Structure 1
Amino acid sequence: MADTAVTTPLRSPLSHAVDRLAAATRASGGTIRLAELPFLTQINVRLDPKGAAADAVGLALGLPLPVEPDTVVRAGELTALWLGPDEWLVVGPPGGQKDLESRIREAAGDEPVSVIDVSAQRTTLLVAGPRSRALLAHGCSLDLHPRAFGPGRCAQTNLGRTQVVLVARDDPRAGFWVLVRSSFAGHLTDWLLDAAVEWTG
C-alpha cells in the first residue's frame, strides 16, 4: 500500500512577518530589536509545590521550580516560569517536548501531576534593545521599571489588548520574551510595529 501521508514543514504563526520585524529592527538603528522565536518547547506543569514531586521534578530538570510569585528560574537551555501557586511553564529549545514530558512524568512517579505540551498554543516574540521597555509600556499597564520588573520576573498580563506572558530575561541586554497565543500573534505584531514607529520612523 502506498504511503499517502503528506509531511509539510512547520510554519510559524509569524512567518509572514519576519521581513517586517527585521526591517523595523534595522530602521530603529539598534534601539529596538523585534523578532519571532518560533517553536520553543512549552510544557505546562501543575503539581503540589510542597509535595515530593516538586523536588523530584526540579532535580530531573536541573532547575528548581520557582516558588516566589511571578519569578523565573533558568538553567542551561531550560527556563521555568511561575504562573500560579501550583502551576509553571517550562520553556526549552524547539523539539524537546517529548523528552521534557517524559522526564517530568518519570520524576513525579505516583505523585499527582499534570503535564501538558502547549508548545503549539503560543509563539514567542523577542523585544529587546535600549527602548524595549518604553515600547512595551505603550500598551502594558504593568510598571516595567527595572526596580519593579527586572531580570528574572514574569507576569501574565495584557499587551496591546492581547493576553500574553511577559518575561524579563536574566540579562537586561537580552530584553523580553512575549509569549502570545498563536491566533493573536499577528495582531500583536502589528501593534508592536505600529507602536515602534516612534523609533523606526
Structure 2
Amino acid sequence: MTVDAVHEPFRTQFTVRVREGHSLLGVDLAAPCRYTSGNGVDILWMGPDEYLVLGPALSRESADLERALSRESAVLAVVDVSAQRNVVRLSGAHAADVLAHGCSIDLAGSPPGTCVQTLLARTGIVLMVREDGFTILVRQSFTDYFTAWLADASLEYVS
C-alpha cells in the first residue's frame, strides 16, 4: 500500500490566545504558517495571537494540560475545542499525490513544520506537513464527506 490514512481519535485540542510571549509549556511558539513540537504537544500557529495546542488522546492528563496552559503568564484565554475537529494522519509514498487531487497548496515546496488552513475538496482543514507525511484536522461535521473523498482520491495509489 502506498497511501495510509489513520484516524487519531479523541485528540486533546485547545485554542490558546496569547498577549505576547515566546513559548508555551516550554515549547517555542510557532512562526506564521508553522507548527512546533515538544513535551508531548504540537503548537500550531492559527493567527497573530492564536495558537492551537494539539495534545495526546483525551485522558485525565487533558485537564492537567488545560491547567498548565491557563497558568502561563502570556495566556489570555484557553478554550477546549477537542470535539471540534477530527485528526487524520496520511502517509506513504503517494500521500502528497492524494492531497494534490483536492488541495491548491504546493506540497512539494512546503517543508516539514508547515501548518496551513486551507480547503481540501471544498472542506476547510488544517494541514500539517510532517517528516513522515501529513496530519489533517477536519471539522467534525465534514468527517464523513472527507473520508469518502479521501478513499476515492486514494484508489489509483492503492495496490
Answer whether TM exceeds 0.5 for this pair.
Answer: yes
How many correspondences in the alignment?
A: 157
Q: Please tell me the root mean square deviation across aligned C-alpha atoms, in Å.
A: 1.4
Q: Which of 125, 135, 138 lines up with 1:177 in the alignment?
A: 135
| Secondary structure, counterpart of 1:42 in structure 2 | strand
Indicate yes or no: 2:41 matched with 1:70: no
Where is the strand percentage greater, Structure 1 or Structure 2?
Answer: 2
Shift of 1:62: 2.0
Native 8 Å contact 1:79 1:92 kept in 2: yes
Point out the structure with max Rg over C-alpha: 1
Give the TM-score normalised by structure 2: 0.93
Matched AA of 1:141: S
Native 8 Å contact 1:165 1:179 kept in 2: yes
Indicate yes or no: 2:130 matched with 1:161: no
Q: Identify the residue that residue 17 of structure 2 maps to in structure 1.
A: 46
Matched AA of 2:72: A
| Structure 1 unaligned regions, length at least 5 | 1-28
Matched AA of 1:143: D
Once residues 168 and 193 of structure 1 are traced to their aligned partners in structure 2, the CA distance between those partners, rounded to angstroms, is: 20
Q: Identify the residue that residue 42 of structure 2 maps to in structure 1.
A: 79
Shift of 1:200: 2.2
Native 8 Å contact 2:16 2:75 kept in 1: no
Where is the helix percentage greater, Structure 1 or Structure 2?
Answer: 1
Q: Which runs of 4+ in 1 moved over 4 A?
A: none
Shift of 1:183: 1.0
Percent identity of the aligned residues? 41
Give the TM-score normalised by structure 1: 0.74
Once residues 197 and 161 of structure 1 are traced to their aligned partners in structure 2, the CA distance between those partners, rounded to angstroms, is: 19
Shift of 1:139: 0.2
Matched AA of 2:153: A
Q: Deviations over 1:132-160 (max 9, x none)?
A: 00100100011111xx2110010000111
| Secondary structure, counterpart of 2:93 in structure 1 | coil
Q: Identify the residue that residue 187 of structure 1 maps to in structure 2.
A: 145
Q: Which of 139, 154, 159 lines up with 1:196 in the alignment?
A: 154
Q: Identify the residue that residue 117 of structure 1 maps to in structure 2.
A: 80
| Secondary structure, counterpart of 2:78 in structure 1 | strand
Q: Deviations over 1:162-186 (max 9, x none)?
A: 00000012xx22x101001111111
Once residues 85 and 91 of structure 2 are traced to their aligned partners in structure 1, the CA distance between those partners, rounded to angstroms, is: 19
Q: Identify the residue that residue 111 of structure 2 maps to in structure 1.
A: 150
Native 8 Å contact 1:72 1:80 kept in 2: yes
| Structure 2 unaligned regions, length at least 5 | none
